[in-house]
C-alpha cells in the first residue's frame, strides 16, 4: 500500500513538472502572434493586428490563462474562452460621447427643508456639512444633494442659536427639525448648554449672522434691537451714532441697504436711535453682508443687510406686548387655515408718558447755553454749534400672510407702513433763528412663491415695492442785530423714492459637485425732488456656480446689468478641522443714493435720488476663522474702491473716488447660556486726504436664571462727523479759510438687567436699561447752515445718561 501511494505522488509530481515545462517561454524580440502559437492551445486572433507587438520573455507559467494574461498585459487586447477556444480581440476605444454614456453612474437625490422643531418656521441659510463637502440651505430653508451611491449619508446641520444635529439620512425628501437653544425663559425651564452659535463671523466672506434672541438681551430699547446688535459687529460704525441706514467698512450714508422680507427700507431720523424701522417681533434671521457678496445681490456698492421675517404661528395663536417708557409694541399671530397663518404687529411712541427731563440729563428743550461744558465741543473758535433735543413721533405696522400649498411649496405676502415726524425750534441771541420739521412715510410690500421640484431644485418668484416720501420745512436765519440782521430764509423740500422689482431665480444641482443658481431681475426706480421726477429701468441677469471639490468650495458668478455693465464675482471657502479660510472679489454698481444737495438757504439736506452717473465699486476680501466649543475667533481684511461717490463742500457737491482699506477682528465665547464677545475694526479712508478710524467694542450676556445681566462698551476715534458724508473730518470752506472739526473720541457704556418669570399661562419679562452709564459727552451731527460770515453746525445730542424700563407679556 505504501508503495502504491508513493508511486501516485511521484507520478503527479512528474506530470506537474512536465506541464510546467510545456509552458516555459524563452523568446527575444518576437512578434506576439508567433509567441502565442508556441502555447500549443486552440487560439483565435488577428495575426496581422498582433504582429505589431514584439516581446522578449524568459519565464515559466502555471497555466495557459496565466501565460495569456501576462502576454496581453498593458496592451489594448482582451481574451475570452469560448467553447474551449481562446479568442483574442482588440479593445475599441469609445468616443467621448460613448465614454460618458458608459461611465456615467446612477444619480440619487437627497433633499429637504430645515425647520424649527417647535414653531415649524423654515430656517434660512443653515450650514450643512459631511465628510466630503459643505453646503448651505437657501432663504426658504431648502437643501439638496446629488449622490452616486444609494447608501445612507451622515450630515451635520447647524443654524444660528440652535443645537447642531448629526444624523444619518437615506435618499429622498426629508423634514429636518432643529431645536432652539433657549435664551429667554419660557416658563421656568432650564435648558442645557450646547455649542449652538449665537453669533457667526468668518464662515463666509464678509458675512455676519446674528441671532435675534441675543439682540433683544442687549441694553437699550428692544424696539431697536436689530440695529443695536448690528452696530456692535466689527466693521459697522457706531461712533457718532449714525442713523439706521448702516455705515459699514467706511462707506457713506445711502451706500448700504436694509432689506426686510424682500423690500428695501430707507431709515428714519430717530430719537436717540431708540426705535428703528424693523420691529424685532417680526424678525427671524439677520444676515449682514459687509462686502464680497455673490452675483444674486446687486444695486449697492456698500453692505447689504438681509432680514428675513417670521412665517407666523401655524399650530396655535400667539400674543406679545412690550410696554416701555418710550414705546408700545403689540404683536399677534394665529393660524387661519390649514398650513396658513396671519401675523400683525404695531408700534407707537409716546414720549410724554414720562418726563424726558427726568430721564435724560440734558433735558428736552433745545438750548445754546454756553454754561454747558460741552457746548461747541469738537469745533474751532470761529465755528459755532447748537445742541438740540427734537420732538419726535413714530408709528409703524406690519401684516404678513404666509403658508404652504404642499409640504414643498411655500408663499407669503408681507406689508409694511411707517409714519415718522421730527421737529424742533430755536431762538437765540439775535444770532440765529431756526424752525425745522421733517415728516417721512415709508411703505413696503412683497409677495413671494417658492416651489421645490421633485429632485430638490427650487424656484422663487418675488415681487416687491417700497417707497419713502419725505417733506421738510425749514425757516432759518443767521446774522447780527438791528439793520444788519438778515431776513429769515424759508426752505421747503419734498422727496420721493420708489423701488419696484420682479425677481425670478432657480437653484438646481446638475452634478454632485455643482450647485447652480440662475436668475433675472427687473427693477424700476422713480425719484422726485420738489416735483421734478426721474425714472430708471434696470433689468439684470445673473448666474452662480457653487463648485464643491471635497472641502474646497469655489463660487464663480456673473451679474449682467442690461445697461452694458458686466459684473463678475468670485468667492472661495476652505474649511479644515476647526478652521475656515475665505476669500472673495467682485465688481458692484449702484444707481440710487442718499446724497446732499444745497438749498436756497445755503445749507444742505440729504435726499434720495437717481444718480446721473452710477457709482462703481470693487471689493476684495480675505479672512480666517477658528471655531470650537462655543469659541469663535475671526480676522478679515478688505480693500474697497468706490468711483463717483458724492461729497460735500461749503457751496457745492462733487463726485470723487475713494479707496478704503481695513481689518476686522472678532472674538466670541459662549459658556452655557452666557456670552462674551469683542471686536476691533480699523479703517483707512483715502480721498483728497486720509482718515484713519478705529473702533473697539465689547459685550456680555450673563445668565443667572431667572436674571440676565448684559453690558456693552464702544470706543471709537478718528471717524469724522457725518457733515461730509462721513469723510474728510467734516471739512468745509468759509472764504479762503478751512474749518476742520477736531477728532473727538466717542465712548459709551450701556448696562441692562432682565428678569423673567411665569404668571399662570403667561411668560413675563421685565427689565431696566441704563444707556451711557458714565454720561460721556458725545455728539451726533445733524446738518449745517452758513452765510457769508459764519458757519453754524446743528447737532442733536447723542444719547445722554438715559434710563429705560420695559414690561413684556407673552401668551
Query: Which DSSP state fits 688?
Result: S
Indicate whether 294 pLDDT > 70.
Answer: yes
If DSSP codes are grouped into helix, strand and coil, which group holds residue 760? coil
Q: pLDDT tens-digit profile of 196-206?
A: 455 677 678 88
Q: CA–CA distance from 442 to each of 396, 415, 496 (Å)?
A: 9, 11, 10
- Residue 740, pLDDT score: 41
Q: pLDDT tens-digit profile of 693-749?
A: 899 999 998 888 888 899 999 998 887 654 444 333 333 333 333 334 445 788 899
Cis peptide before 459 (omega within 30 of 0): no
Q: Percentage of the chain surpassing pLDDT 90?
A: 21
- Residue 221, pLDDT score: 65
Rounded-to-integer distance, Cα 602 and Cα 786, Å: 6
Residue 451: Cβ within 10 Å count:
17
Cβ atoms of 39 and 45 within 8 Å: the answer is no
User: What is the arithmetic mean of pLDDT over 234-240?
Assistant: 86
- According to the per-residue pLDDT averaged within each range, which of 104-118, 360-374, 678-692, 719-733 is highest? 678-692
Rounded-to-integer distance, Cα 257 and Cα 265, Å: 7
Cβ atoms of 409 and 443 within 8 Å: the answer is no
Q: How many residues does the chain have?
A: 811
- Residue 99, pLDDT score: 54
If DSSP codes are grouped into helix, strand and coil, which group holds residue 737? strand
Give 785 or 668, the one with higher predicted confidence. Answer: 668
Buried/exposed code over 34-71 (b: 16+ C-beta within 10 A; e: otherwise)? ebbeebebebebeeeebeebebebeeebeebeebbeeb
Exposed, middle or buried by CB within 10 Å (0-12, 13-18, 19+), for 97?
exposed
Q: Which helix (H) or strand (E) holds 71?
A: helix 64-72
- Residue 651, pLDDT score: 58
The mean pLDDT of the chain is: 76
- Residue 360, pLDDT score: 43
Indicate whether 475 pLDDT > 60.
Answer: no
Question: How does strand 172-178 pair with strand 108-116?
Answer: parallel
- Residue 793, pLDDT score: 53
Q: pLDDT tens-digit profile of 602-660?
A: 566 778 889 888 899 999 999 999 888 878 899 999 999 998 887 766 556 677 888 99
Q: Percentage of the chain surpassing pLDDT 70?
A: 73
Q: CA–CA distance from 177 to each of 123, 402, 458, 487 (Å)?
A: 9, 19, 20, 69
How are the residues of the chain apportioned to helix, strand and coil, as percentages rounded to the nearest 5? 10, 55, 35
Give 417 or 359, the one with higher predicted confidence. Answer: 417
Q: Please, which pLDDT band fits residue 467 given cuts at 50, 70 and 90?
A: very high
Cβ atoms of 558 and 295 within 8 Å: the answer is yes
Q: Please, which pLDDT band fits residue 362 given cuts at 50, 70 and 90?
A: very low
Q: pLDDT tens-digit profile of 780-809?
A: 655 454 444 455 555 555 777 878 888 889
Least confident of 155-164, 428-437, 715-724: 428-437
Buried/exposed code over 165-176 (b: 16+ C-beta within 10 A; e: otherwise)? beeebebebbeb
Give 524 or 136, the one with higher predicted confidence. Answer: 524
Question: How does strand 172-178 pair with strand 142-147?
Answer: unpaired
Indicate whether 184 pLDDT > 50.
Answer: no
Give 522 or 327, the one with higher predicted confidence. Answer: 522
Cβ atoms of 26 and 57 within 8 Å: the answer is yes
Query: E strands within 45-136?
Result: 54-60, 77-82, 85-90, 108-116, 127-129, 134-136
- Residue 759, pLDDT score: 84
Helices (H), 216-351: 225-230
- Residue 102, pLDDT score: 46
User: What is the arithmetic mean of pLDDT over 559-563?
Assistant: 84
Residue 269 makes CB contacts below 8 A (sequence gap 6+) with 243, 390, 392, 420, 422, 438, 440
If DSSP codes are grouped into helix, strand and coil, which group holds residue 73? coil
Rounded-to-integer distance, Cα 798 and Cα 362, Å: 10
Amino acid at each position: 500500500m505504501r508503495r502504491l501511494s508513493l508511486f501516485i505522488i511521484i507520478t503527479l509530481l512528474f506530470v506537474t513538472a512536465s506541464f510546467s515545462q510545456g509552458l516555459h517561454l524563452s523568446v527575444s524580440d518576437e512578434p506576439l502572434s508567433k509567441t502565442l502559437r508556441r502555447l500549443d492551445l486552440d487560439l483565435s486572433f488577428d495575426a496581422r493586428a498582433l504582429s505589431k507587438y514584439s516581446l522578449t520573455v524568459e519565464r515559466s507559467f502555471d497555466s495557459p490563462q496565466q501565460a495569456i494574461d501576462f502576454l496581453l498585459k498593458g496592451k489594448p487586447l482582451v481574451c475570452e474562452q469560448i467553447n474551449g477556444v481562446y479568442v483574442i480581440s482588440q479593445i475599441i476605444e469609445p468616443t467621448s460621447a460613448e465614454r460618458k454614456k458608459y461611465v456615467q453612474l446612477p444619480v440619487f437625490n437627497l433633499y429637504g427643508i430645515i425647520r424649527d422643531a417647535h414653531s415649524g418656521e423654515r430656517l434660512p441659510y443653515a450650514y450643512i456639512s459631511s465628510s466630503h463637502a459643505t453646503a448651505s440651505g437657501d432663504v426658504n430653508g431648502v437643501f439638496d444633494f446629488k449622490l452616486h451611491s444609494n447608501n445612507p449619508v451622515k450630515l451635520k446641520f447647524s443654524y444660528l442659536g440652535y443645537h447642531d444635529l448629526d444624523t444619518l439620512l437615506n435618499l429622498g425628501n426629508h423634514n429636518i427639525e432643529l431645536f432652539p437653544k433657549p435664551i429667554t425663559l419660557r416658563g421656568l425651564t432650564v435648558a442645557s448648554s450646547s455649542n449652538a452659535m449665537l453669533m457667526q463671523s468668518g464662515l463666509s466672506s464678509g458675512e455676519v449672522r446674528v441671532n435675534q434672541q441675543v439682540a433683544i438681551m442687549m441694553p437699550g430699547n428692544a424696539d431697536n434691537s436689530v440695529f443695536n446688535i448690528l452696530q456692535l459687529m466689527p466693521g459697522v460704525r457706531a461712533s457718532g451714532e449714525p442713523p439706521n441706514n448702516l455705515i459699514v467698512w467706511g462707506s457713506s450714508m445711502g451706500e448700504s441697504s436694509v432689506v426686510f422680507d424682500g423690500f428695501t427700507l430707507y431709515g428714519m431720523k430717530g430719537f436717540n436711535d431708540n426705535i428703528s424701522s424693523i420691529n424685532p417681533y417680526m424678525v427671524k434671521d439677520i444676515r449682514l453682508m459687509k462686502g464680497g457678496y455673490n452675483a444674486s445681490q446687486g444695486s449697492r456698492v456698500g453692505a447689504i443687510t438681509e432680514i428675513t421675517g417670521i412665517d407666523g404661528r401655524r399650530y396655535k395663536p400667539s400674543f406679545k406686548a412690550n410696554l416701555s417708557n418710550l414705546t408700545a409694541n403689540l404683536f399677534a399671530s394665529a393660524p387661519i387655515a390649514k398650513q396658513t397663518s396671519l401675523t400683525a404687529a404695531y408700534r407707537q411712541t409716546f414720549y410724554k408718558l414720562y418726563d424726558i427731563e427726568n430721564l435724560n440729563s440734558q433735558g428736552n428743550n433745545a438750548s445754546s447755553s454756553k454754561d454747558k461744558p460741552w457746548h461747541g465741543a469738537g469745533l474751532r473758535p470761529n465755528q459755532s454749534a447748537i445742541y438740540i433735543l427734537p420732538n419726535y413721533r413714530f408709528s409703524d405696522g406690519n401684516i404678513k400672510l404666509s403658508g404652504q400649498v404642499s409640504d414643498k411649496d411655500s408663499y407669503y405676502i408681507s406689508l409694511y407702513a411707517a409714519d415718522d415726524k421730527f421737529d424742533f425750534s430755536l431762538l437765540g441771541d439775535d444770532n440765529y433763528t431756526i424752525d425745522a420739521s421733517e415728516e417721512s412715510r415709508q411703505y413696503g410690500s412683497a409677495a413671494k412663491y417658492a416651489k421645490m421640484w421633485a429632485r430638490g431644485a427650487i424656484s422663487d418668484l418675488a415681487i416687491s415695492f417700497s417707497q419713502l416720501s419725505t417733506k421738510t420745512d425749514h425757516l432759518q436765519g443767521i446774522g447780527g442785530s438791528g439793520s444788519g440782521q438778515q431776513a429769515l430764509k424759508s426752505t421747503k423740500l419734498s422727496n420721493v423714492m420708489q423701488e419696484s422689482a420682479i425677481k425670478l431665480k432657480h437653484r438646481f444641482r446638475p452634478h454632485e459637485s455643482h450647485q447652480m443658481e440662475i436668475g433675472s431681475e427687473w427693477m424700476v426706480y422713480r425719484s422726485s425732488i420738489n416735483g421734478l421726477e426721474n425714472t430708471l429701468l434696470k433689468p439684470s441677469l445673473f448666474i452662480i456656480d457653487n463648485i464643491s471639490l471635497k472641502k474646497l468650495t469655489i463660487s464663480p458668478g456673473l451679474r449682467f446689468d442690461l445697461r452694458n455693465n458686466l459684473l463678475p464675482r468670485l468667492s472661495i471657502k476652505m474649511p479644515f478641522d476647526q478652521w475656515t479660510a475665505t476669500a472673495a472679489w467682485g465688481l458692484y454698481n449702484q444707481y440710487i443714493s442718499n446724497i446732499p444737495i444745497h438749498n436756497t438757504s445755503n445749507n444742505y439736506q440729504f435726499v434720495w435720488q437717481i444718480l446721473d452717473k452710477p457709482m462703481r465699486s470693487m471689493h476684495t476680501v480675505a479672512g480666517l476663522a477658528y471655531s470650537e466649543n462655543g469659541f469663535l475667533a475671526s480676522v478679515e481684511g478688505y480693500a474697497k474702491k468706490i468711483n463717483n461717490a458724492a461729497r460735500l463742500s461749503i457751496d457745492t457737491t462733487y463726485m470723487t473716488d475713494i479707496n478704503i482699506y481695513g481689518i476686522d477682528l472678532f472674538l466670541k465665547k459662549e459658556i452655557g447660556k452666557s456670552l462674551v464677545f469683542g471686536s476691533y475694526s480699523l479703517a483707512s479712508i483715502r480721498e483728497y486726504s486720509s482718515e484713519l478710524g478705529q473702533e473697539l467694542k465689547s459685550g456680555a450676556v450673563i445668565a443667572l436664571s431667572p436674571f440676565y445681566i448684559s453690558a456693552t462698551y464702544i470706543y471709537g476715534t478718528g471717524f469724522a462727523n457725518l457733515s461730509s458724508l462721513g469723510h474728510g473730518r467734516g471739512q468745509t470752506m468759509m472764504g479762503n479759510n478751512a474749518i476742520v472739526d477736531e477728532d473727538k473720541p466717542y465712548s459709551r457704556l450701556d448696562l441692562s438687567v432682565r428678569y423673567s418669570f411665569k404668571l399662570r399661562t403667561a411668560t413675563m419679562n421685565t427689565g431696566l436699561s441704563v444707556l451711557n452709564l458714565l454720561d460721556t459727552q458725545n455728539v451726533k451731527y445733524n446738518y449745517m447752515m452758513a452765510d457769508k460770515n459764519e458757519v453754524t453746525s446743528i447737532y442733536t445730542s447723542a444719547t445722554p445718561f438715559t434710563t429705560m424700563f420695559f414690561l413684556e407679556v407673552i401668551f
